[in-house]
Amino acid sequence: MSETLADGLSDAPADCARVDAALPWFVNGTLPAADRAVVAQHLERCAGCRQRASFETQLHDTVRATADGAGQPAAAEAQAAWERFAPQLEPAPGSAPSVSQASVRRSPGLRVRRLWMIVGAQAAALVLIALVLVVRETQRAEPVYRTVADAPRTITNAADRVLLRLVVAVDLPVTEVRRLAAEVGAVVVEGPSAEQVYTLALDKDRSAGAAMQALRVRRGVLLAEEVAR
Amino acid sequence: MAAGDRRALRSLYLAYYPRLFRFVLRMTRDSGLAEEVVNDTMLMVWRGAAAFRGESRVSTWIIGIAYRRALKALAARKRRLPAVGFEREAVDGRESAPAVDPVAATVEVQDWIEHALDGLSPEHRLTLELAYFLGESCEEIALIADCPVGTVKTRLHHARIRLQRHLLEHATPHAAVSGGGTGNVTRRGST
């Protein structure tokens, strides 16, 4: 204890707290002699601290009971443990163990740990492979630059019809776009995209020019043009 | 040993193994894990012997390594297994507490304390075990745990408070810290 008790103690609660803090070292015998004498004197006077010291002694004795009692590995057990341990040693301090040495007898715990390390390494390798594949797939799926006039790739049922590209204001609802499309003799076959782009398929008997003219003058329509085939 | 003398290491191993093994076994209750921690410790001692400058006692250095390896092993096990705490004591619930047989009571309080110790955090438990099992001083524990002396005192204070509180909650009224040194402590509801 760096903080000495040898200055003297009274029976004040603050001093009881100092004695209480010193009790573990009083009980385990490591309290300096001068402090030990002061604590002993205080215990003679203070019933409360004596009770705490009693509990502390019991705690100490209980913990210490296994130090010299049952379950203590005999010298033979220590020798056996050494024989399990020795093969793990390197030829000299500072160098890694050779495979042949390390693979000789190990304790069960070390074997389990080594197994986990192997499993962990395999898992890490799998994660790495998965990452590479994901990165490659991401690169492959990277979007190409397209104008709004480019032909949509997903429309399969309007191959023989004129397609119109329509860009509308963000507040124009889909129902309104469908209504506009119907007015010019078209149907929405794709959209809206995040940029509010729609694709319309025009009826065969309708003129693309007339439909675009009609759409361009409607409120909320920002762009209307024929899709390049 | 710093020169790579295996015979010196063997002597050190055989000298320290029993004490370190029991120290770690008290907390892990797993002989395989305890041996693993001791072997890891001695392997680090073997590898680090040349770098040991003698700034502390050899035993403090070795126990300090064992302390850190034990903490690491306990943390790893905690991630794998559910926590064991004070609660498991409370299920032993019968109402009456018959007359106390001093011998049985002593055995029982030891059993209680052992279980209560399991409810402490690894840092608190290790600090208490270093003080009571290994008999280290406050300053030595600070070196072993690589922390200030004040931290050691605080950890031990909290560990003791928690144990005493648990004793008061689960022991019969006449027992616990009011025993005045008799050691007659019984668990509430025990036979």
Q: Which of A62, A71, A89 sits opposite B110 (nearest CB)?
A: A62
Given an 8 Å threshold on Cβ–Cβ distance, is B132 in contact with A24? Answer: yes
Q: CA–CA distance from B167 to each of A20, A23, B65, B191 (Å)? A: 17, 18, 32, 17
Any bridge partners for residue A167, and if so which? A197, A223
**What's the pLDDT score for residue B124?**
93
* B:47-66 residues touching chain A, CB 8 A cutoff: 47-50
Residuewise pLDDT in 10s, chain A (229 residues): 545 666 666 656 668 888 999 999 999 999 999 899 989 999 998 999 998 898 889 888 888 876 655 555 568 888 999 999 988 876 655 444 443 343 334 455 556 666 777 777 888 878 888 777 776 766 665 555 555 555 555 455 566 788 999 998 888 888 889 999 999 999 988 888 878 888 999 988 889 999 999 999 988 898 898 887 6
Helix (H) or strand (E) holding A154: none
A226 CB neighbour count, 10 Å cutoff = 15
Label residues A10-41 b or e (16+ Cβ within 10 Å = b): eeeeebbebbbbbbbbbbbebbbeebbebbee
Is residue A113 within 8 Å of residue A160, measured between CB atoms?
Answer: no
Tokens of B77: 């096990």
Residue A47: list chain B partners with CB under 8 A.
180
Residue A73: list chain B partners with CB under 8 A.
17-18, 21-22
Residue B77: list chain A partners with CB under 8 A.
none
Minimal C-alpha gap between A116 and chain B (Å): 12
* B:146-185 residues touching chain A, CB 8 A cutoff: 149, 153, 156-157, 160, 163-164, 167, 176-183, 185
Residues 6+ apart with CB under 8 A from B12: B1, B42, B45, B62
The verdict on B191 touching A (C-beta cutoff 8 Å) is: no
**What's the pLDDT score for residue B186?**
45
Given an 8 Å threshold on Cβ–Cβ distance, is A60 in contact with B17? Answer: no
B102 CB neighbour count, 10 Å cutoff = 10
**What's the pLDDT score for residue A141?**
54
Q: Residue ranges of chain B with pLDDT lower than 50?
A: 84-100, 173-191
Minimal C-alpha gap between A101 and chain B (Å): 14
Q: What are phi and psi of A192, to 5 degrees?
A: -85, 150
Is residue A107 within 8 Å of residue A84, measured between CB atoms?
Answer: yes
The model carries a pTM of 0.56
User: What's chain A's Rg over C-alpha atoms?
Assistant: 43
Residue type, B146: D
**What's the pLDDT score for residue A171?**
84
Residue B1: list chain A partners with CB under 8 A.
93
pLDDT digits (tens, 9 = 90+) for B40-91: 999 999 888 888 877 788 999 999 999 999 999 988 887 776 554 433 333 3
Q: What are phi and psi of B34, to 5 degrees?
A: -60, -45
Q: What is the 3-state secondary structure (H, E, C) of chain B?
A: CCCCCHHHHHHHHHHHHHHHHHHHHHHHCCHHHHHHHHHHHHHHHHHHHHHCCCCCCHHHHHHHHHHHHHHHHHHHHHHHCCCCCHHHHCCCCCCCCCCCCHHHHHHHHHHHHHHHHHCCCHHHHHHHHHHHCCCCCHHHHHHHHCCCHHHHHHHHHHHHHHHHHHHHHHECCCCHHHHCCCCCCCECCCC
Residue type, A204: K
Q: Which of A1, A66, A93 sits opposite B138 (nearest CB)?
A: A1
Is A163 in a helix, a strand, or coil?
strand
